[in-house]
Structure 1
Amino acid sequence: MTELLIGLVITIAVGYYIVKGYKAAGVLLTAGVSLLIIAGLLGHSVLPAKVISTGNLFTDSLEYVKYMLQYRGGGLGLQIMLLCGFASYMTHIGANNVVVKQFSKPLSFIKSPYVLLVAAYIVACLMSLAVSSATGLGVLLMATLFPMMTAMGISRPAAAAVCASPAAIILSPTSGDVVVAAEKAGLPLHVFAVETVLPVSISAIIVMAAAAFFWNKYLDKKNNTPMERVDISEMEVTAPGYYSILPFMPIIGVFLFNGETIPGLKIDIYTIVVLSITIGAIVDFLTNRLNGKVTLENLESCYAGMGDAFKGVVMLLVAAGVFAQGLMSVGAIDNLLALADKAGAGGIALMLLLTALTVAAAIATGSGNAPFYAFVELAPQLAGKLGLSPAFLIIPMLQASNLGRTISPVSGVIVATSGMAKISPFDVVKRTVVPVVCGLITVILGTVVLVPMYA
């Protein structure tokens, strides 16, 4: 329990200093490295198995920082920089203004920005079927839907929360989490994903959409949040109308190429964004009457956006990753697992306990996968002892891990969306917390009603 107490104290300290206005990246890095050093002093392994030790406790901690710079900077970080660069480029050449101008006409009959917010949330949830990564989807939505949402009168925190939330509930039947969950539940994938999980997921999404409507409306009124609705009649649009398709090129590309929609052709998100930037540059080049100098000058805005993303978003992701590894290395998660294993509760009480522990671990680490993969190993054993159906325990845990990540100020999706929106992660979490709680309650009730408790 000492390790769990250490993790709890440092996590509270992180939240305190970030709220006090300290730079989040520096706070998380300091806390993460401190946890790694403490883990080593307590006799725990500082580094995961895939990272080779330097032979020294202190330099091992720094080795993990280097690993995260390589892993997140070159992987997810590159994706974020590309999408941020693309978004900056679209703004610079006037494509985003064209989108707002054109979409404002058919949407003008919807007077409430909160109805638009719900519609955007539903669209974002459907996008999760094509993009499995929560952070990747959040960044994609920030680069495409966020400018349009804010221009139509949705406040920046509310719009960022919409972009951060769609992966909170799992819809995709082929998600890695769902595949593992089906295996541990002892059910065929189609039975588990479609007949068991999907009805619970759809119910939770409906409830979360309604909660987002009322909660964001309440917060905007309470905090007098600035609304940025653009007066379309005064908006200056210099780009031609056909530029309106350009901001949506990454989304179109995801549906066309990030799977087997076109047989034999599969392109990942990185190449899709590069392709979208290339198409934008070609269209801009032709529109400017083959003026290569102007085209290349416009592209500079893309590179500047990528640089800003590394400074404001990617380093936060690296720091959050180091902090999460520190919590796991010090043994805080193992202590939570031990608590669950010792629980001598009935079926519903055990399900609630496992769900609560999964949420707590997801909030603390900022990861949706790690807590679920750790706790799901316990479910079949505990279910067997009590004669319960493993699915009855696993489904709430599956959803709880993703819901918990959506209210973690150190999770990749919250850090990325808040960074791109230029607001605090806590401003986004404040917007997601009530819909997430409502979604979690719906998941628990849906499981009790729809999933047999006993095997």
Structure 2
Amino acid sequence: MLSLVIAGITLVIVVYLLVKGYYPQAALFIGGLILLTCTWIFGLGDLLPAKQTTHFGGFDIFKVFSTRFATRIGGLGLMLMAIGGFSRYMEYVGASSALFKVFEKPLKKIKNPYLLLGAAFLVEQIMVIFVPSHAGLGLLLMCTLYPILVRSGVSPLSALGVIGCCQFMDVGPGSGNANMAAQVAQMDVSEYFVYYQLPLFIGLVVILTFVQMFVQAWWDKREGWHFDPEHVKTFAGEKSVKEPVDAPRIYAILPIIPLFLIIFFSKVAGSTIRMDVVTAMVISTIIAIIFELIRWRDLRKILGTFKLFFEGMGKILVGVVSLIICGEYFAQGLIKSGAMGTLISAANDAGFGLAAMVVIGGLLLWIMAFIMGSGNAAFFSFAPLVPPIAHAVGAPIVSLIFPLQVLVSFGRVSSPITAALIAISGIAGVSSFQVAKRTCIPMFVATIVTLVAYFMFWY
């Protein structure tokens, strides 16, 4: 009981810090520090196995952190950093913009504004598999898709609502949450993507395409918006976005190469050759460098751009990997203090099964992501707790981690304080709360559809 009281107080402190906008890594680290310190002082459990202990609890509190750091930095951390390095290089050479240009002309031919919105949403969902950053893709779409939409008769808020949902689901081998889920489930990320994420993703995209069209039309009618071709306003005042690099059309294939390598050289394709994510990202970056060498014929300059790959890796280390490690440190505090074990035992005694855990856990993570404005912070702090919960209810880990990983994305996209919504609303000169109104209803629909589909096909 003491462990639950300590955990409850600590959770309130952590949530308060996150809601108030404190650095999330620090908030999660403080939470883990409090829990592990109380575990040591009150003798609630062992902090480390006998082989890893420093033989002094005060040092073991921090050894737990260094152990998690060492474990993650060479596994999932390296994988995510490689993805970040590749994404940074794709941004530099203009490959993501070249990929969008493939869809630009067909979009301009659609005259009905709401059909154009539906088509734009479909294009976004193709791109999200290759540009795995909600804020990054949102900003790219602001300087490419947004002007097309508003000049074609789409209201700015409707355009922002659709762009805000560009990464409504963290999907594909490039997604940090998807990689985390696959690793927790002890699955290859290509199998997790093809057998679990992809079927649900395709179904949701089809449904949400129509939902977006009707919801945005309903909001426009409710708010009395009328298109005035004489006064079309794209960006707010002097605010604008960096123009994408004008790259050759052939560069559109570059963001697709990693996905091809990962899927083609895997069990899914029946190949005896295996391609891990890090290797795929490095190979794809080298191919991009070769493209640049052919284009510019300046060996010194192009080889110098290789540093961008490492800059991208560093950015992910600071932003994402550190968040995973601090989230796991907090989770270790919940586990070591015995709070998690007590809750699992109580759930078992109450007869909670997998279904209850999926619904309760999914809605909890949805709310946490909404409050924090970050799906990563919520998911990374909860994911390490899934294996013992799944074991307690006698279910495969993937059957629990999969719906939770999907549902947390919907909470993030509905939040007015998530980075992508703040960025795109700032560029357009509107409140992020106005944009969040346009994303909430589609995400509520996505939540219901996901739970129904999960219990029909995966439960």
* Band the TM-score falls in, shorter-chain normalisation: 0.5 to 0.7
Deviation, 1:284, is: 0.8
Aligned to 2:60: 60
CA contact (8 A) 1:115 1:213 kept: yes
Q: Does 1:152 align with 2:166?
A: no
Please report the TM-score for the alignment, with normalisation by the length of structure 1: 0.66
For 2:86 and 2:172, the matched residues in 1 are separated by 22
Aligned to 2:122: 119
Aligned to 1:366: 379
Aligned residues: CA RMSD? 5.1
Aligned to 2:343: 336
What letter corresponds to residue 16 of structure 1 in structure 2? Y
CA contact (8 A) 1:96 1:147 kept: no
For 1:5 and 1:219, the matched residues in 2 are separated by 45
- Within 5 A, what are the aligned runs for 1:258-297? 258-259=266-267, 261=269, 263-289=271-297, 291-297=298-304
Secondary structure in structure 2 of the residue aligned to 1:366: helix
Deviation, 1:263, is: 3.3
Secondary structure in structure 1 of the residue aligned to 2:45: coil
CA contact (8 A) 2:399 2:458 kept: no
Deviation, 1:117, is: 6.4
Which of the residues 401, 405, 415 maps onto 2:404?
401
Q: Does 1:28 align with 2:41?
A: no
Deviation, 1:246, is: 1.6
For 2:84 and 2:386, the matched residues in 1 are separated by 30
What letter corresponds to residue 319 of structure 1 in structure 2? C
Deviations 1:257-308 (A, max 9, x none): 244637332110000000011111111112222x211112322333322222
What letter corresponds to residue 94 of structure 2 in structure 1? G
For structure 2, which runs of at least 5 residues remain unmatched after alignment?
147-158, 188-194, 224-232, 237-241, 369-377, 425-431
Secondary structure in structure 2 of the residue aligned to 1:376: helix
Secondary structure in structure 1 of the residue aligned to 2:168: helix
Which of the residues 321, 325, 330 maps onto 1:314?
321
CA contact (8 A) 2:125 2:167 kept: no
CA contact (8 A) 2:93 2:245 kept: no
Aligned in 2, Cα 1:116/1:310: closer, same or farther, shift over 3 Å?
farther
Aligned in 2, Cα 1:82/1:422: closer, same or farther, shift over 3 Å?
farther
Aligned in 2, Cα 1:269/1:219: closer, same or farther, shift over 3 Å?
farther
Deviations 1:327-349 (A, max 9, x none): 2222222222122122268xxxx
Aligned to 1:323: 330
What letter corresponds to residue 53 of structure 1 in structure 2? T
Q: Does 1:39 align with 2:46?
A: no
Secondary structure in structure 2 of the residue aligned to 1:152: helix
Aligned to 1:247: 255
Deviation, 1:83, is: 1.9
Which one is further off, 234-243 or 263-272?
234-243
For 2:354 and 2:244, the matched residues in 1 are separated by 56
For 1:253 and 1:432, the matched residues in 2 are separated by 33
For 2:51 and 2:217, the matched residues in 1 are separated by 47
For 2:341 and 2:210, the matched residues in 1 are separated by 36
Secondary structure in structure 1 of the residue aligned to 2:269: coil
Aligned in 2, Cα 1:114/1:24: closer, same or farther, shift over 3 Å?
farther
For 1:435 and 1:339, the matched residues in 2 are separated by 35
CA contact (8 A) 2:29 2:329 kept: yes
Aligned to 2:72: 72
Which one is further off, 12-21 or 363-372?
363-372
For structure 1, which runs of at least 5 residues remain unmatched after alignment?
128-136, 181-192, 381-389
CA contact (8 A) 2:32 2:329 kept: yes
Deviations 1:369-408 (A, max 9, x none): 544433334446xxxxxxxxx99xx998565433454468
Secondary structure in structure 1 of the residue aligned to 2:21: coil
Identity over aligned pairs, percent:
23
Which of the residues 149, 153, 162 maps onto 2:168?
162
